[in-house]
Structure 1
Amino acid sequence: MSGGVGGGTAPAGVRGTGQVARRTRLGLTLLGSWRPSWQWLRGVVRAFATSFAALAVSLWLLPGTQVTQGAYSVANLAIAVLALGALLRPLITYLTVLTGVVGLLLFGLLTQAAVLALALAVVPTVEPFSASEVVIASWASAVAAASFNWLVDTSSDEVFHGQVLGRAVRRTPRAGADGPGLLVVQLDGVSEPLLRQAITAGSVPTISSWVRGGSHVLRRWHTGVPATTPAGQAVLLHGDDTSVPGFRWYDKQRGRLLAASRPADAAEIEADMSDGRGLLAYGGASVSNLFSGDAPTRLLTISDARLPGRDPGSASFATLRFGFLRSLTLFVGQVVTEWYQGRRQRMRDVVPRIRRGGQFVVLRGLTTVILRDLNVTIVADQLTRGTPVVFVDFVDYDEVAHHAGPSRPETMRTLENMDRVLDVLDQLTREVGRRYEIAVVSDHGQAQGSTFLQLSGRTFTDVVRELSESPRVENAGEEPGQRTTGETWVPVAALSAGATGSVRLLTRGARWLVHALTRDPAPFEGGDAAQTPDQLVVAASGSLAHVYCTGEPGRLTRERLDALHPRLVRGLAEHPHVGVVLTRRADGAVVVDGGDGWRAWHGAHPAGGEGDDPLAAYGPHALADLIALERRDHVGDLVAFGRYDPSLGEVVAFEELVGSHGGLGGWQSDAFLLHPAGWRAPLDEPLTGRQVHDTLVDRLVVLGLRGDREQAS
């Protein structure tokens, strides 16, 4: 569904005048918001060192003696260049918005050359130059300094975001779309309680201003089990709350494992649950998601990632140096930062923690820099084109939280960066033709905790193998030597398969480097080995693990499980690092075993039990969550959950992740919805995922952007 242009088409001269006026207004806004800061001061010191070195080399290359007092003369010259450059820098930023990235490089070179020529004339300890020597010295120094400073300047969020805004202003008059629109931004893995803490701490000023100013309302929605991105996006984008039992699972009908991180599997999962009327079905765009929401435009979307991207947004990011080289610079910076932060955790003996090895050093840069910047560029392109509804997922926080911890300092700084992205997107919505409303949502939260392997000295699969007395137990999750998870590789899969040439080349190079450093293959590459009959398969998703008997059709009853493996269920339930084990009796009752007792339910009605209630520590929603999980497709013959410690709010993960989600306990099932005030939304607290989906669909109907069977009431 595309928006039309009201009132006809303006003459070219009028459009041109309006465009210049809008670009001038935007440039003046950026110019007026510039303030000195410690970051700016550090840049000044860096610029001085760079200018000093560049000038020293340039003067040394010229024949004869140009300076009378050696380093003192060069330092004076560098200070003069620095002072004039500092005065001109805000003006250059303003001109950059007007002229684009070519202007950034052009003005940088011309300004540096002019400043150097002026400084050469006024510094008394530098001998007069001939005209040719002035040109050679000024341009040699200007090229060296401007090239370095250009790379550094394009590494700053302000200049990059200014470029994105400027491009939006230039393109909007040509796009010609008006009317209302909706932008939905998913902050992957951010829990509602943590977001409220960030608001209180002042870490997310954009979100805070929306909530405190009354323009938006912050709500909690309960994900239930599984608390994973596939389940979250299935209900948010497709309204489906039954098809996805985890991040990976065994499909007995297909006879193989499915993992949402594999594009081919994601396509099959979406085909099974889609009815063609997803959230984005009417002219929408899916950006960097697992599933498409039935969007006609699918960019970096895993379920459609086999089709290479050819959209102008990703093409411009790959070809314009302000996009790709900026991200490449920050990518290297993130690698260094991760090495330092991982070492700092080890030196301080921070617990719980995991090994932040070579693979995550590379993957963090890919996910928190390359993908983030690419997403911003693509979303900006879609907004300027007038796409009526856009849904984009930013995985920055979730990725760092998995390896550093959900509330650790580096993780919270990632959330601060996402808040700045929201500010840029908010500015974009004011500059494009459509009047976009912005809603922000998460798909799940995270809970911190030590891993099963750390606490037990062996994997969950090892325990299943011992208790089942079967040598044929296949682990579909993570082995001890494999330190990346399927979820970690989701954005990398999207970058590799759905982006344009240079981004794809960088991503594949990074994947090769990861394998060279760790011998850890990307989990989304290739299929699993065929499972054999009478085999047990363990499919772990964070603190949730499904166990399947592949040789038995359908879901096994508790009675059949006990007959096949008499020690398995009770042995797992009594393990000190397993919280509860879920099975189903032949009479249909749900059975939950814990270390000190068990309970059975027919729906919400008790059907037996003894000892302590195994769900007592898991909160008021635990029973309903397990009953709902029982109704999902492809649930394991038994389902195990990592132990939850309510005193610390920590959960044991079956994967090697210090921040995990999927099962019960902590904030992993506490997602959020931040929507504009005035929306029609249920008053229930918390909301369900289906209610969030229906609220978004209802808003599209109210805005006139959706015309299917669902009507506003």
Structure 2
Amino acid sequence: MRLRLPPWRRLGAAALRILAVWAVGTVTMLVLAGILPDFRLQSSDGDSATLIGITAAIGAGVFGLLSALVWPVLVRALLLVPALVLGLLVFFLNGSLLLLALSLIPYGHGSADPETAVVVAAVMSAASSAASTFLTVRDDGAYRRRLSRLADRDRRRANAGEGPRTPGTVFLQLDGLGHEVLREAIEPPDGSAPLMPTVAAMATGSHRLTPWRTDWSSQTGGSQLGILHGSNEDVPAFRWYEKETGEVIVSNRPTSAAELQRRAVERTGDRGLLALDGASRGNLFSGGAGQAALVLSVSVRRGRENRSRAGYFAYFSDPANATRTAVSFVAEVLREIGQSVRARLRGKGPRVGRGGLYPVVRAFATVVERDVVVAAVLGDILSGRTAVYADLVGYDEVAHHSGPRGRDIRQVLRGLDRSIALIAKVIEKAPRPYHLVLLSDHGQSHGETFESAYGLTLENLVRAGCGLPVPRKAGRTLSGGEARAAARAALHRPEECGQEPPRKPPRTAGPVVLASGNLGLVSFPDVPGRMSREQLDARHPALLRALADHQGIGFLLVRSEEHGAVVLGPGGAEHRLATGEIVGGRDPLEPFGHGAADAVRRTAGFPHAADIMVNSAVEPRTGRVHAFEEQIGSHGGLGGEQNRAFLLSPLVLSAPADGELVGAESVHRVLRRWLAEAAGSPGTSTSPPAGPLESADAALPA
């Protein structure tokens, strides 16, 4: 048990820290005044060194006071501003506070140009943050109180040394990081040092690494809903069309996420994994947590605690945090631009476009969201919360555009490892022991996009197979030409002259074609309910064969009036899922490995499965697939490493499963069991050995 200092000692230590940080700010201001020509701390006639020093001290003190009092108010206002412009506003507002501080110096000797004020404010915030962190982390009580401010105030414990005896649990989701990629990051095949030393120490010491197989819909919406709420029934993809409402459900749309969570809770009769004293951070769904920040499913609510950007306030209310994250944000944008240019110059494929807003989106995912989520988790740990589930999305975002093993990925994996090291370090100072569990929701599969490989999109191929107009460029491709020719022959239409589309297209509603990685969904809105194979053949005789025989497509799932759910493959091959009978050739599901039939059979029973479910082909040796979206690292269907996620769990907890762990709902049951085990008996912290964590202090948030 730690001894508590008497009140006067704690007040004295706090006062000394304030004076030390003030002194650092004063010295920083003096140095900057000597370096920057447009920043002055003296009158044009010159002042004595003493007066300049007093001016710097007053300026630094007023700037620090304004940062403490005014900045939180400004951040409240920033909740109304789109998050992607936060980086620029941080610099502007911080510079404005410095100009205000200089104007408040009694004898008016301080001045700076606006551009220079931004630089001075950023440097001073960084210096003060470093000094404050250096002093605070060496005082356990102050350290806890500082980080506990990141948690909700009503949960702070008056006595930081007291807390529950049973362990809490932190579930940290590394979004999109597959089992094989993680293994290579902690045990490089070439024998070099691991990219993720903290995770490597865990895997070889206190934790066990277990792979698990995803559902057919291998994407965050389906996986995380199943993990947090115990049911991902009727989630056929990341996005799908619902005929009864005419709406497209998109998992990362706030209204859709809220509806999916409502359905899952209604189906299970349970609030979720985190219902008992839990916190959900940076997720699509809340898991029933009482505390949720940056959670999509609750962001549409208009409550004070659940506004869309309210989760950012606790972190950015400290200007030092805001400045540091803004600097890292700009650096990440520049890094992405440089990496994109290098990839183009090298000419190595496959590649996708990385211009437009993507550099900003990447920086937001890998810097802003990471910093905010990690800081929120630290606050939860130090306030003694029982269960925390947080999602770090940086790897998934970058891998979509750079590939699961691209050169750009190495930096992201190192950053994730530093975040894990920081969380493990803070666990050592928590008021209760904690189990730290790492997991992923899916992996990613590499490969050239469908459009890049074959010259047309899945939608164009479907429209060509239906005999509907397609863009001239798509019609000229081999795939598009074959599909259109087959459609014309099936409909007994004459040959087209040239490349012009038919003058009078069929009077039928066009299909809705959606993509979720390498999984495609085709629905016909004007036909109620799910169309049968027989209806499809009668309406569009060439469509199913045009799709099934395409070399970029692995298989189709349709519903037959005679045989039930049927998987169609090239050359007329069929896999009748109800009986397991294979007719007409090779099993279309064979290249996708064991378990594929079970995964497809389960989805076939979903009410909102599309009229035609399309899975791209997979190259069995390399696991390459063709995404129907602009992604060279993709997930959402079957094929390759996207279906192999991982669990890294403490050895003090029971093994996840006796055999293979299959499906997100199974993972939910495992995590439930672990929470019950933690609640049933006292335990010890399962943080990694101290070696890899010694440098974590430098990254501690201010």
The question of a shared fold, defined as TM-score above 0.5 by the shorter chain, is answered with: yes
Answering whether residue 317 of structure 2 is matched by residue 326 of structure 1, we say no
Answering whether residue 669 of structure 2 is matched by residue 682 of structure 1, we say no
Find the residue that maps to 1:374 and give its secondary structure. helix
Mapped contact 2:294–2:311 kept (Cα < 8 A): no
Q: 1:183 aligns with which of 154, 157, 170?
A: 170
Q: What is the Cα deviation at residue 426 of structure 1?
A: 1.0
Find the residue that maps to 2:273 and give its secondary structure. coil
1:266-293: CA deviations, max 9, x gaps? 1111111112331011221111111111
Work out the CA distance in 2 between the residues paired with 1:22 and 1:182.
32
Q: How does 1:529-544 map to 2 (within 5 A)?
A: 534-544=509-519
Mapped contact 2:144–2:382 kept (Cα < 8 A): no
Work out the CA distance in 1 between the residues paired with 2:603 and 2:571.
23
Find the residue that maps to 2:357 and give its secondary structure. helix
State the match for 2:260 in structure 1: 269
State the match for 2:96 in structure 1: none
Work out the CA distance in 2 between the residues paired with 1:664 and 1:448.
12
Find the residue that maps to 1:668 and give its secondary structure. helix
* Structure 2 CA distance for partners of 1:57 and 1:267, relative to 1, 3 Å: closer
State the match for 1:557 in structure 2: 532
Q: What is the Cα deviation at residue 667 of structure 1?
A: 0.4
* Structure 2 CA distance for partners of 1:535 and 1:306, relative to 1, 3 Å: same
Work out the CA distance in 2 between the residues paired with 1:630 and 1:301.
30
Q: 1:307 aligns with which of 301, 319, 323?
A: 301
Find the residue that maps to 1:343 and give its secondary structure. helix
Mapped contact 1:242–1:631 kept (Cα < 8 A): no
Q: How does 1:164-243 map to 2 (within 5 A)?
A: 167-168=146-147, 173=158, 177-179=163-165, 180-201=167-188, 202-213=194-205, 215-243=206-234
Answering whether residue 405 of structure 2 is matched by residue 407 of structure 1, we say yes
Q: 1:610 aligns with which of 570, 581, 584?
A: 584
* Structure 2 CA distance for partners of 1:245 and 1:169, relative to 1, 3 Å: closer
1:512-539: CA deviations, max 9, x gaps? xxxxxxxxxxxxxxxxxxxx98441112
* Structure 2 CA distance for partners of 1:448 and 1:216, relative to 1, 3 Å: same
**Where does structure 1 lack aligned partners over 5 or more consecutive residues?**
1-6, 25-46, 67-98, 103-135, 474-531, 707-713
Mapped contact 1:557–1:585 kept (Cα < 8 A): yes
Q: 1:625 aligns with which of 578, 590, 599?
A: 599
Q: How does 1:133-532 map to 2 (within 5 A)?
A: 147=121, 149-150=123-124, 167-168=146-147, 173=158, 177-179=163-165, 180-201=167-188, 202-213=194-205, 215-274=206-265, 275-307=269-301, 310=305, 314-470=312-468
1:685-710: CA deviations, max 9, x gaps? 3444222211111122222289xxxx
Work out the CA distance in 2 between the residues paired with 1:363 and 1:158.
31
Work out the CA distance in 2 between the residues paired with 1:297 and 1:633.
33
Work out the CA distance in 2 between the residues paired with 1:330 and 1:700.
36
Work out the CA distance in 2 between the residues paired with 1:672 and 1:20.
48
* Structure 2 CA distance for partners of 1:453 and 1:58, relative to 1, 3 Å: same
Work out the CA distance in 2 between the residues paired with 1:612 and 1:18.
75
Q: 1:54 aligns with which of 26, 31, 36?
A: 36
* Structure 2 CA distance for partners of 1:421 and 1:461, relative to 1, 3 Å: same
Q: What is the Cα deviation at residue 310 of structure 1?
A: 3.8
Read off the aligned partner of 1:355 and give its amino acid letter: G
Mapped contact 1:444–1:668 kept (Cα < 8 A): yes
Read off the aligned partner of 1:328 and give its amino acid letter: A
Q: What is the Cα deviation at residue 329 of structure 1?
A: 1.3
Mapped contact 2:168–2:433 kept (Cα < 8 A): yes
Q: What is the Cα deviation at residue 346 of structure 1?
A: 0.3
Aligned residues: 553
Q: What is the Cα deviation at residue 615 of structure 1?
A: 2.4
* Structure 2 CA distance for partners of 1:147 and 1:463, relative to 1, 3 Å: same
Mapped contact 1:51–1:145 kept (Cα < 8 A): no
State the match for 2:640 in structure 1: 666
Find the residue that maps to 2:187 and give its secondary structure. helix
Read off the aligned partner of 1:658 and give its amino acid letter: I
Work out the CA distance in 2 between the residues paired with 1:563 and 1:143.
72
Q: 1:587 aligns with which of 562, 567, 580?
A: 562
Read off the aligned partner of 2:592 and give its amino acid letter: Y
Mapped contact 2:293–2:311 kept (Cα < 8 A): no
Q: What is the Cα deviation at residue 614 of structure 1?
A: 2.2
Read off the aligned partner of 2:653 and give its amino acid letter: W
Work out the CA distance in 1 between the residues paired with 2:129 and 2:462.
49
1:17-70: CA deviations, max 9, x gaps? 69999999xxxxxxxxxxxxxxxxxxxxxx9x989843898799976999xxxx
State the match for 1:96 in structure 2: none
Work out the CA distance in 1 between the residues paired with 2:610 and 2:400.
24
Mapped contact 2:122–2:323 kept (Cα < 8 A): no
Find the residue that maps to 2:640 and give its secondary structure. coil
Q: What is the Cα deviation at residue 596 of structure 1?
A: 3.5
State the match for 2:608 in structure 1: 634
* Structure 2 CA distance for partners of 1:559 and 1:574, relative to 1, 3 Å: same
* Structure 2 CA distance for partners of 1:555 and 1:174, relative to 1, 3 Å: farther
Find the residue that maps to 1:703 and give its secondary structure. helix
Find the residue that maps to 2:389 and give its secondary structure. strand
Find the residue that maps to 1:392 and give its secondary structure. strand
* Structure 2 CA distance for partners of 1:366 and 1:145, relative to 1, 3 Å: closer
Q: What is the Cα deviation at residue 146 of structure 1?
A: 6.6
1:438-487: CA deviations, max 9, x gaps? 111111000111111112222111111111124699xxxxxxxxxxxxxx
Mapped contact 1:581–1:640 kept (Cα < 8 A): yes
1:228-248: CA deviations, max 9, x gaps? 101101110011132211110
Q: What is the Cα deviation at residue 416 of structure 1?
A: 1.4
Q: What is the Cα deviation at residue 151 of structure 1?
A: 5.2
Q: What is the Cα deviation at residue 11 of structure 1?
A: 11
State the match for 2:520 in structure 1: 545
Work out the CA distance in 2 between the residues paired with 1:52 and 1:347.
42
Mapped contact 2:148–2:380 kept (Cα < 8 A): no
Find the residue that maps to 1:704 and give its secondary structure. helix
Find the residue that maps to 1:438 and give its secondary structure. strand
Mapped contact 1:19–1:173 kept (Cα < 8 A): no
Structure 1 residues 681-690 or 193-202, which shifts more?
Answer: 681-690
* Structure 2 CA distance for partners of 1:269 and 1:472, relative to 1, 3 Å: farther
Work out the CA distance in 1 between the residues paired with 2:132 and 2:563.
59
Work out the CA distance in 2 between the residues paired with 1:295 and 1:533.
47
Q: What is the Cα deviation at residue 343 of structure 1?
A: 0.5
Mapped contact 1:172–1:432 kept (Cα < 8 A): no
Read off the aligned partner of 1:289 and give its amino acid letter: N
Q: What is the Cα deviation at residue 569 of structure 1?
A: 0.9
Read off the aligned partner of 1:209 and give its amino acid letter: A
Give the TM-score taking structure 1 as reference length. 0.70
Read off the aligned partner of 1:210 and give its amino acid letter: M
Work out the CA distance in 2 between the residues paired with 1:172 and 1:457.
61
Find the residue that maps to 2:642 and give its secondary structure. coil
Work out the CA distance in 2 between the residues paired with 1:256 and 1:56.
57
Q: What is the Cα deviation at residue 543 of structure 1?
A: 0.3
Read off the aligned partner of 1:381 and give its amino acid letter: G
Mapped contact 1:388–1:705 kept (Cα < 8 A): no
Mapped contact 1:231–1:244 kept (Cα < 8 A): yes
Work out the CA distance in 1 between the residues paired with 2:293 and 2:508.
39
Work out the CA distance in 1 between the residues paired with 2:634 and 2:132.
33
Q: 2:675 aligns with which of 689, 700, 708?
A: 700
